[in-house]
Amino acid sequence: MSWTEAAEDLLAALLRMVPDTFRSLAEGAARVEAEGFAGERGAGAVDTDDVVRGWIETTPADQRDSLVAVLEELGIDPELYAEALSAEPEE
């Protein structure tokens, strides 16, 4: 699946916040989730909304509170993702 330039840029920004040791793993998981969200909506490309939702989904529930500040730092309104931030990760 293709990715918009904005989606690639956002993922790169999020990955810069991950320690080098875990960056590759985090990238793979986030890409799978983001592409899954794009596929669910029938899109041909991953957009920034898919990236945010994928990143939230791959973040352990006990660490999601810290994502609010990260999203705000990136100019993203965390209120748009309040439901996803409070949801339990899917198994």
Place of tokens 């989730």: 33
Backbone angles phi, psi at 3, to 5 degrees: -125, 140
Q: Kindly tell me the sign of the dihedral angle through the C-alpha atoms of 51, 52, 58, 63.
A: positive
Query: Under DSSP, is residue 76 helix (H, G, I), strand (E, B) or coil?
Result: coil
| 65 Cβ contact partners less than 8 Å away, ≥ 6 residues apart | 85
Q: What is the pLDDT along the chain (91 residues), one digit of tens a residue?
A: 999 999 999 999 999 999 999 999 999 999 999 999 999 999 999 999 999 999 999 999 899 999 999 999 999 999 999 999 998 766 5
> Rounded distance, CA 46 to CA 88, Å?
23
